[in-house]
Structure 1
């Protein structure tokens, strides 16, 4: 892995977890400035899941409804071939089919 960043954020700064994203009550720049670390913080104050021999009871993070849903792209969302514009980016000329566009590019450019 390249350019890995570790953030140790107090649970009080967490709004909730939606199953995919941890939502925070503080802005991104605040987190980067105050909670990014290259070394482990004090395990008596932070839960560290990878700390050897460490067992802790930590507060539950509130599960919240997702605030973002990834769009689902299907063939229904794509433009039918008859409505697609085959535009030559070099001269801004439109063609009815991809074959016409290919022929134009190979002969004119």
Structure 2
């Protein structure tokens, strides 16, 4: 097909199509795969199908039961990760608190606000 594009591109009646320039994508001057809704399959449909297939594979691999399309699956799992700041965040919070306290003290002593 590439050779045909080259050969047709040399002919004067097809010169305006510039087939020789677009020979490697087989004469198609657009994206290598179409984004048109009128084409057989859109890229969005391919993505949706791939996502559904991967989700089904992950569900099967995890040993989860088949999903019933008439119900909503709700998974709720809470774990306690601790409270308070991490050591670095605690240092930053202390520095902010200290600066605010200095500003309050300065203002209360009659300094410019």
TM-score range, shorter chain: under 0.3
Identify which of structures 1 and 2 has the higher relative contact order when contacts are C-alpha pairs closer than 8 Å and 6+ apart.
1
Q: Which has the higher helix share?
A: 2
Give the structure-2-normalised TM-score: 0.20
Q: Which has the higher strand share?
A: 1
